[in-house]
Amino acid sequence: MPLVTSKEMFKKAYEGQYAVGAFNVNNMEIIQGIVDAAKEENAPLILQVSAGARKYAKHVYLMKLVEAAVEDTGLPICLHLDHGEDFEICKSCIDGGFTSVMIDGSKYPFEENIALTKRVVEYAHEKGVVVEAELGKLAGVEDNINVSAKDATYTDPDQAVEFVERTGVDSLAIAIGTSHGAYKFKGKPQLDFERLEKITRLLPGFPLVLHGASTVLPEFVELCNKYGGNVAGAQGVPEDMLLRAGKLGVCKINIDTDLRLAMTASIRKHLSENPGDFDPRKYLAPAREAIKNMVKHKMRNVLNCSGKM
């Protein structure tokens, strides 16, 4: 079974009103924990690699590890570049065997974002690779934000339609109030579902993507804090909001922070309880298991994609 694109996954997810998890990977244990979960849950799966991950582990190591995961599990995995910042990194990943890339032109003005995205789409489609783009900027939502500042950051529904039509992009990351990292909301979590519904209405059948969608599970926050870490005040997106988004055209939900917290909580706990251990396998094996269980929980209760492979 070769790597696959997300095209079929998204079509099924859209129709079935669920989302596919896109998990960030940086090393072997993270990859193994995630794919073992997907195998046990019989769930569709996207593994994604950031520029930072490529710098840390090198493209070739991550590529070979994901190929090994496909061979080991027989799963139809989609391998995706997360937040590609220019044409060159997208080209390098397309030429290097990825089946999906994100070109993140969200920091550019509308027309520049369109031109950059179009260039990547043309190159990618020629090679059978799919492209995700981003419109609107993800950020932490401040208390007492005024409407115009909010609108300037969030995705404009009419612009989203124009963007999709003019670029030919395969999926679009939108900004409706999620943000990257472990501190997503000051106060009560809020997502702009009215905006999401409008975008979905204007782009029927088109797959949307939610970045910054970790739920920041309290059990890992507590473990980190208990065993010498400090992630006090961490707060993620509530599970029910993500389930709702999955019913409204969001076909891909990005998760990185939750993997980091699960892994780090497990390692902190293990080393605190076993101060004599210095064999990396002793603390990485439970960390891999913690990732697997966390991902299974997501697939069942947040993505609703268990059994949907």
Q: At what angle do helices 157-167 and 193-202 cross, to 10 degrees?
A: 40
Query: In whole angstroms, what is the distance from residue 103 CA to residue 5 CA?
Result: 16
Nearer to Zn ion, 54 or 211 (CB): 211
Distance in Å, CB of 257 to ligand 13P, minimum: 4
Distance in Å, CB of 215 to ligand 13P, minimum: 8
Quote the tokens at residue 209.
């993507």
Q: Could you tell me which stretch among 49-57, 170-178, 226-234, 236-244 binds ligand G3H (CB under 6 A)?
A: 49-57
User: Of these partners, Zn ion, ligand 13P, ligand G3H, none, which one is at the site of residue 53 (CB under 5 to 8 Å by kind)?
Assistant: ligand G3H
Kindly state whether residue 134 participates in binding ligand 13P, applying the rule CB under 6 A. no
Distance in Å, CB of 198 to ligand G3H, minimum: 25
Looking at 26, 254, 266, 306, which residue binds ligand 13P (CB under 6 A)? 254
Query: In whole angstroms, what is the distance from residue 235 CA to residue 241 CA?
Result: 14
Kindly state whether residue 118 participates in binding Zn ion, applying the rule CB under 5 A. no
Looking at 36, 82, 132, 156, which residue binds ligand 13P (CB under 6 A)? 82
Query: In whole angstroms, what is the distance from residue 84 CA to residue 185 CA?
Result: 26
Looking at 12, 125, 180, 300, which residue binds ligand G3H (CB under 6 A)? 180
User: Catalytic: 82?
Assistant: yes
User: Of these partners, Zn ion, ligand G3H, ligand 13P, none, which one is at the site of residue 52 (CB under 5 to 8 Å by kind)?
Assistant: ligand G3H
Nearer to ligand 13P, 229 or 271 (CB): 229
Residue 92: count of CB within 10 angstroms of its CB:
16
Query: In whole angstroms, what is the distance from residue 11 CA to residue 44 CA?
Result: 12
Query: Cβ(305)–Cβ(19) under 8 Å?
Result: yes
Distance in Å, CB of 214 to ligand 13P, minimum: 3
Nearer to ligand 13P, 162 or 240 (CB): 240
DSSP 28-50: HHHHHHHHHHHHHHT--EEEEE-
Q: Region of 187 please: left (phi>0), alpha (psi -120 to 50) or beta.
A: left
Query: In whole angstroms, what is the distance from residue 292 CA to residue 31 CA?
Result: 9
Kindly state whether residue 52 participates in binding ligand G3H, applying the rule CB under 6 A. yes
Looking at 5, 99, 257, 264, which residue binds ligand 13P (CB under 6 A)? 257
| CA 65-292-99 angle, 5° bins | 40
Distance in Å, CB of 137 to ligand G3H, minimum: 13
Query: Cβ(306)–Cβ(43) under 8 Å?
Result: yes
Kindly state whether residue 280 participates in binding ligand G3H, applying the rule CB under 6 A. no
Query: Cβ(265)–Cβ(223) under 8 Å?
Result: yes
Give the H or E element holding residue 3. Answer: none
Catalytic choice (36, 72, 82, 277): 82
User: Of these partners, ligand 13P, ligand G3H, Zn ion, none, which one is at the site of residue 41 (CB under 5 to 8 Å by kind)?
Assistant: none
Query: In whole angstroms, what is the distance from residue 222 CA to residue 246 CA?
Result: 28
Residue 207: count of CB within 10 angstroms of its CB:
23
Kindly state whether residue 211 participates in binding Zn ion, applying the rule CB under 5 A. yes
Kindly state whether residue 24 participates in binding ligand G3H, applying the rule CB under 6 A. yes
Kindly state whether residue 80 participates in binding Zn ion, applying the rule CB under 5 A. no
Give the H or E element holding residue 171. Answer: strand 171-174
User: Of these partners, ligand 13P, ligand G3H, Zn ion, none, which one is at the site of residue 132 (CB under 5 to 8 Å by kind)?
Assistant: none
Instruction: Kindly state the number of chain residues that form the binding site for ligand G3H, as judged by CB under 6 A.
Output: 8
Q: So which residues are the catalytic ones?
A: 82
